[in-house]
């Protein structure tokens, strides 16, 4: 394991030194090892690498919080998992006794005729989309927690 940060050792990925910059020499070295036939691509390579270094690399390596920050993030992620699962389950239980039709009726209170039919269909669809979204949110948070 390589010593970084003044001799301290860290498990996992090596933490890069920021800011990352690509000099003209770096760009020329890269170009000497690849075959690019489009002159426009050759001209833009430096700009693309600079943009990549400023944005994507910075985001990719923002995964090194201190332990307190990591604990707080994990606590927040677990809360999202719990609440998303709980709300999804509550909506499913609500539907078991026809609650969603009651809820839809309250959401569209005051509509009549064709407006009523369209509003009913829209609100019913929105509730179904929310159940799907809550499951996806729980799954994403669970994956994030394990990362």
Nearest to 86 by CA among 137, 145, 33: 137
pLDDT of residue 5 exceeding 70: no
Measured over the CA atoms of residue 80, residue 81, residue 86 and residue 89, the dihedral's sign is positive
pLDDT at 82: 92
Return d(Cα 17, Cα 57) in angstroms, integer: 11
**DSSP states of 67-101:** HHHHHHHHHHHHHHHHHHHHHHHHHHHHHHTTHHH
pLDDT at 13: 46
CA distances from 128 to 14, 90, 111, 139 (A): 44, 13, 21, 17
Task: Encode pLDDT of 12-64 as tens digits.
Answer: 444 555 557 778 888 888 878 877 777 777 778 888 888 888 777 777 666 56
Q: Which two three-digit tokens encode residue 72? A: 């707080």
Task: Encode pLDDT of 75-85 as tens digits.
Answer: 999 999 999 99
pLDDT of residue 138 exceeding 80: yes
Confidence category of residue 147, pLDDT binned at 50, 70, 90: low
Please state the rounded mean pLDDT for residues 89-94. Answer: 82
Return d(Cα 83, Cα 102) in angstroms, integer: 23
Nearest to 64 by CA among 7, 18, 109: 18
Return d(Cα 102, Cα 94) in angstroms, integer: 10
Return d(Cα 82, Cα 45) in angstroms, integer: 45
pLDDT of residue 9 exceeding 60: no
pLDDT of residue 7 exceeding 50: no
């Amino acid at each position: 394991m390589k010593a970084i940060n003044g001799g301290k050792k860290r498990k996992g990925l090596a933490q890069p030194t920021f800011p990352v910059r690509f000099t003209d020499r770096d760009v020329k070295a890269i170009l000497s090892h690849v075959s690019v036939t489009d002159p426009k691509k050759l001209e833009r390579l430096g700009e693309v690498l600079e943009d990549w270094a400023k944005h994507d690399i910075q985001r990719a390596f923002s995964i090194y919080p201190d332990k307190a920050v990591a604990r707080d993030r994990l606590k927040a992620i677990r809360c999202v998992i719990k609440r998303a699962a709980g709300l999804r389950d509550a909506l499913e239980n609500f539907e078991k006794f026809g609650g969603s039709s009651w809820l839809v009726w309250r959401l569209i209170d005051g509509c009549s005729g064709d407006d009523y039919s369209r509003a009913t269909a829209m609100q019913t669809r929105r509730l179904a989309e929310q159940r799907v979204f809550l499951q996806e949110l729980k799954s994403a948070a669970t994956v994030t927690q394990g990362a």
